[in-house]
C-alpha cells in the first residue's frame, strides 16, 4: 500500500484537470460532487497509509517512494558535485499525520463549499482552484526533499492567491490576493536561499539524508560531513543562516511577525477558503517545515530562541488585536495568527510533536469556527459585524452548538482538544523559559476572552438588528453536517495527546529525533504538568467568565475598560498601525522609486531611445527622398553612369 501513496496527489490533480477543462459542461451538481469525492479518495488513501504505518514497528515507519527522476546533473553515479533531485515522496509518521489533517479537513471544507458556493457564477473555477490547492498542499507535505517541498510551497502560494482574489470584481479582494502573494514571496526567497545553503553544505536535499548527515553532532564545533560537495562541511554559521532564512520563510507562509499582515486581509476570499487555507492547511506549512527540519534547528539553538520569541510576540500581538475587532472573520483571522504563534513557540523550544499536535487540533477547531462564521454570514446575507448580531442561538441551533464547541476548544476550556494541545506547548515553554510561559498564559487568557466574546456577541443577548435577525435561517444540511463532524473532531482530537501518555508524542518522536534522543524527550515531570494544566484551565475559564461579565452581565464594562486603557485602546484597535507603518516605510518609498524610474528612466531613457530611432529614420528618409526627382531622364542618366562605372571597374580591375 505504501507504494500507492502517489494516489494522494493523483486524485486532486485529476479533479483539477477535469473540472478546469470540462467543469462548465459537467454542470454544478457533477462538479459539486466530483471535487469533494476526489479529496475524499485522497483521504481514504491517507487513512490506509496510516493504518499500514501503525502496523509496522517504529523503526520501519519510514518509506521513500521515488516516482521519477526530476533533474540530474550527475558526473557519475554518486559522484561529488552531482546534483540529483527526484520527484519522490516520503511517507512517515509526520507526513501521514499532515496528510490526514489536510485531506480530512479539506474534504469537509469541500463538502461545505458545495453548499456555500452553490449560487456562484464561477462555481467550477472555484472547485478547480480548491482541488489544485489540495494537490499543492499534499505535494508540500509528502515531498521527500526540500526542492519538491518548495514546489508545493510556491504552489499553495499560487492557489491561495487565486482563491483569495476569487471575487476579483471587488478591488479589495484583488488587492488582498496580491498582498498575500507578494508578502509570501518575501519569505519564499528566504526558503530558496536556505535550500541553496543546505545543498552547498551537504550535497543533498533529501530530508532523510540531511538528518542522517547531521546525526550525532553536538552544538559546538564545525561539522565535517564526509563525501559531500564543496568544502564538505556545513559550518554552524551556515546552519544558523539556513535556519534563520527558513524562519523568514515560515513567518511569511505562517503569518508571523513581521510578515503576518497578509492573513487578515485574506478574509476577502470566500469563507470556506479562509477555513481551508488560513486555518487548516497552508498557514501551517511553516510549522511543518520547521518540524521537518528538526535536525537543522536542533543544531541552531539561537534560531530556536528566535522562533519561540517571534511566535510568542505574534501570539500576543495578534491576540490583543483580535480583542478589538468587530468583524467575525477578522477576529478569527487574528486568532489564527495568534495560534500559529503558539505552534512557533512549540517548534522553537524543540517540542516539535507538541507543535504538530496543536497544528492538528487547531485545524479542526479553526476550520470549524471559520465554517461556522460562514454559516452565520450565510444566514445574515453577508453580514459579519458582530455588533449587529445577537441572540442567534435560537435561529441557528446547529451553527451555535458547533461554533460553541470550536470556540471552547480555541479558548482551551478543559477536556476539549485545544486545552490539551495548548497545554502541551505551555508545558514545554515553561521548561524552556519561565517568561515564555508567563507570556503564553497571558495570551491564553486573551484567547479565552475573545473566543467567548465572539460567542456572546453573536449568539447570546438581545438581537441588535431586528430585521437581520428575523430573516436569519439555519444553513442547509450540506453545510451543517461538515460543521458537526468538525465539531466532533474539535472535541475529541485532543485525546491523542493526553499529558504523560501522549500517543501523538510517541508516534511522532522518531521523526524528529532519529536514534539517540528518543527516550530523553518523553520523560515528563507529571506533577509540574498537572499544576500547569490546572493553571491554564483556570485561566481559560477566567477568560470565558470575564467575557460573560463584559458582554452579558455588565454591558458597560467594555466601555470602562476602554477608558481605563486610554490611548492603548486606539493603538490596538488600529492593529498597532503595522499596515500603515509598512505602507509608509516600504510601499510608499517603492512606489516613489517606481514613479521616478517611470518618469526618468522609462519615459526619457527607453521611450526616448525608441522614439529617437524612429525620428532618425524619418529624418534620413526625408533626406533620401530628394533623390527621387521623378525625372525619367535623370534616372536614365544615373543608370548610364552606373553602367559606365561598372564597365570601367570590370575592365580595369
Partner 1 sequence: MVPTTYYLILSAVLFTLGALGVVLRRNVLIIFMSVEMMLNAVNLTFAALARHFLQLHGQIFVLMAMAVAAAEVAVGLAIVMAVVRHKDSTNVQDINLLKG
Contacts to partner 1 by CB under 8 A? 624-633, 636-637, 640
| Beta-bridge partner residues of 64 | 90
Closest CB to partner 1 among residues 519, 627: 627
Closest CB to partner 1 among residues 526, 639: 639
> Rounded to a whole number, what is the distance in angstroms from the first to the last CA of the chain?
87
**Nearest approach, Cβ of 650 to partner 1 (angstroms)?**
16
Q: Answer whether the bond into residue 170 is a cis peptide, omega within 30°.
A: no
Distance CA 553, CA 297 (A): 48
**Nearest approach, Cβ of 615 to partner 1 (angstroms)?**
19
**Nearest approach, Cβ of 619 to partner 1 (angstroms)?**
14
**Nearest approach, Cβ of 641 to partner 1 (angstroms)?**
10
Closest CB to partner 1 among residues 462, 623: 623
Cell of 298: 536542533
Closest CB to partner 1 among residues 381, 625: 625
Distance CA 504, CA 11 (A): 28
User: What sign has the CA pseudo-torsion 299, 336, 506, 41?
Assistant: negative
**Nearest approach, Cβ of 605 to partner 1 (angstroms)?**
34
Residue 327 sits at φ, ψ, to 5 deg, of -95, 125
In the three-class reduction of DSSP (H, G, I as helix; E, B as strand; rest coil), residue 145 is classed as strand
Render the burial of 625-642: b for 16+ CB within 10 Å, e for the rest.
Answer: eeeeeeeeeeeeeeeeee
**Nearest approach, Cβ of 630 to partner 1 (angstroms)?**
3
Closest CB to partner 1 among residues 552, 636: 636
**Nearest approach, Cβ of 647 to partner 1 (angstroms)?**
12
Closest CB to partner 1 among residues 498, 634: 634
Closest CB to partner 1 among residues 523, 631: 631
| Beta-bridge partner residues of 206 | 145
Distance CA 269, CA 645 (A): 79
Closest CB to partner 1 among residues 585, 634: 634
**Nearest approach, Cβ of 613 to partner 1 (angstroms)?**
22
**Nearest approach, Cβ of 636 to partner 1 (angstroms)?**
5
SS3 for 184-210, per residue? HHHHHHHHHHHHHHHHHHHCCCEHHHH
**Nearest approach, Cβ of 621 to partner 1 (angstroms)?**
9
Count of H-run helices and E-run strands, the chain = 28, 4
Beta strands 62-72 and 84-92: pairing type? Answer: antiparallel
In the three-class reduction of DSSP (H, G, I as helix; E, B as strand; rest coil), residue 211 is classed as helix
Distance CA 457, CA 466 (A): 15
Residue 90 sits at φ, ψ, to 5 deg, of -115, 115
CA 283, 143, 139: angle at the middle one, nearest 5?
A: 55
Closest CB to partner 1 among residues 538, 637: 637
Q: Are the beta carbons of 475 and 379 closer than 8 angstroms? A: yes
Closest CB to partner 1 among residues 71, 637: 637
Q: Are the beta carbons of 151 and 70 closer than 8 angstroms? A: no
Amino acid at each position: 500500500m505504501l507504494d500507492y501513496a502517489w494516489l494522494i496527489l493523483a486524485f486532486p490533480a485529476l479533479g483539477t484537470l477535469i473540472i478546469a477543462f470540462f467543469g462548465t459542461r459537467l454542470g454544478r451538481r457533477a462538479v459539486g460532487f466530483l471535487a469533494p469525492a476526489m479529496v475524499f479518495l485522497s483521504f481514504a488513501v491517507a487513512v490506509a497509509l496510516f493504518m499500514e504505518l501503525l502496523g509496522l514497528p517504529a523503526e520501519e515507519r519510514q518509506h521513500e517512494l521515488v516516482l521519477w527522476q526530476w533533474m540530474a546533473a550527475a558526473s557519475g553515479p554518486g559522484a561529488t558535485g552531482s546534483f540529483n533531485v527526484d520527484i519522490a515522496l516520503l511517507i512517515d509518521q509526520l507526513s501521514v499525520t499532515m496528510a490526514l489533517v489536510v485531506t480530512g479537513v479539506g474534504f469537509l471544507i469541500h463538502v461545505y463549499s458545495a453548499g456555500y458556493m452553490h449560487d456562484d457564477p464561477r462555481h467550477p473555477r472555484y472547485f478547480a482552484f480548491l482541488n489544485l490547492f489540495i494537490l499543492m498542499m499534499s505535494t508540500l507535505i509528502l515531498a521527500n526533499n526540500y526542492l519538491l517541498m518548495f514546489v508545493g510551497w510556491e504552489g499553495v502560494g499560487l492557489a491561495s492567491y487565486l482563491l483569495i482574489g476569487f471575487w476579483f470584481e471587488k478591488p479589495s479582494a484583488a488587492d488582498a490576493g496580491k498582498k498575500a502573494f507578494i508578502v509570501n514571496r518575501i519569505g519564499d526567497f528566504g526558503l530558496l536561499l536556505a535550500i541553496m545553503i543546505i545543498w552547498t553544505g551537504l550535497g543533498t536535499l533529501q530530508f532523510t539524508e540531511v538528518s542522517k548527515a547531521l546525526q550525532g553532532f553536538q552544538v559546538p564545533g564545525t561539522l565535517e560531513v564526509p563525501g559531500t560537495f564543496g568544502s564538505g562541511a556545513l559550518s554552524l554559521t551556515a546552519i544558523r543562516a539556513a535556519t534563520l532564512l527558513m524562519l523568514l520563510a515560515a513567518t511569511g507562509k505562517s503569518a508571523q511577525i513581521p510578515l503576518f499582515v497578509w492573513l487578515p486581509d485574506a478574509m476577502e476570499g470566500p469563507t470556506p477558503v479562509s477555513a481551508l487555507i488560513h486555518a487548516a492547511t497552508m498557514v501551517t506549512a511553516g510549522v511543518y517545515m520547521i518540524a521537518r527540519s528538526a535536525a537543522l534547528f536542533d543544531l541552531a539553538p539561537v534560531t530556536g530562541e528566535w522562533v519561540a520569541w517571534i511566535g510568542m510576540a505574534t501570539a500576543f500581538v495578534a491576540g490583543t488585536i483580535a480583542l478589538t475587532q468587530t468583524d467575525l472573520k477578522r477576529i478569527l483571522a487574528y486568532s489564527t495568527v495568534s495560534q500559529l504563534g503558539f505552534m512557533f513557540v512549540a517548534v522553537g523550544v524543540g517540542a516539535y510533536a507538541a507543535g504538530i499536535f496543536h497544528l492538528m487540533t487547531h485545524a479542526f477547531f479553526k476550520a470549524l469556527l471559520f465554517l461556522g462564521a460562514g454559516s452565520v454570514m450565510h444566514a445574515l446575507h453577508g453580514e459579519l459585524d458582530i455588533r449587529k448580531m445577537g441572540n442567534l442561538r435560537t435561529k441557528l441551533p446547529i451553527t451555535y452548538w458547533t461554533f460553541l464547541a470550536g470556540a471552547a476548544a480555541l479558548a482551551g476550556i478543559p477536556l476539549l482538544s485545544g486545552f490539551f494541545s495548548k497545554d502541551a506547548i505551555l508545558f514545554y515553554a515553561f521548561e524552556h523559559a519561565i517568561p515564555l510561559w508567563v507570556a503564553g498564559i497571558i495570551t491564553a487568557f486573551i484567547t479565552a476572552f475573545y473566543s467567548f466574546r465572539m460567542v456572546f456577541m453573536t449568539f447570546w443577548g438581545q438581537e441588535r438588528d431586528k430585521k437581520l435577525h428575523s430573516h436569519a435561517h439555519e444553513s442547509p444540511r450540506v453545510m451543517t453536517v461538515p460543521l458537526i463532524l468538525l465539531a466532533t473532531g474539535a472535541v475529541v482530537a485532543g485525546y491523542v495527546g493526553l499529558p504523560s501518555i501522549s500517543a501523538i508524542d510517541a508516534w511522532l518522536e522518531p521523526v524528529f529525533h532519529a536514534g539517540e534522543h528518543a527516550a530523553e524527550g518523553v520523560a515528563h515531570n507529571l506533577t509540574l504538568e498537572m499544576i500547569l494544566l490546572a493553571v491554564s484551565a483556570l485561566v481559560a475559564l477566567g477568560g470565558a467568565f470575564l467575557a460573560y461579565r463584559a458582554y452579558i452581565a455588565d454591558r458597560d464594562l467594555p466601555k470602562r475598560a476602554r477608558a481605563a486603557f486610554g490611548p492603548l485602546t486606539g493603538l490596538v484597535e488600529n492593529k498597532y498601525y503595522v499596515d500603515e507603518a509598512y505602507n509608509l516605510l516600504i510601499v510608499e518609498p517603492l512606489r516613489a522609486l517606481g514613479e521616478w524610474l517611470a518618469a526618468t528612466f522609462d519615459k526619457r531613457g527607453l521611450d526616448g531611445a525608441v522614439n529617437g530611432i524612429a525620428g532618425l529614420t524619418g529624418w534620413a528618409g526625408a533626406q533620401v527622398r530628394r533623390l527621387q526627382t521623378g525625372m525619367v531622364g535623370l534616372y536614365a542618366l544615373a543608370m548610364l553612369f552606373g553602367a559606365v562605372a561598372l564597365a570601367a571597374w570590370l575592365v580595369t580591375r
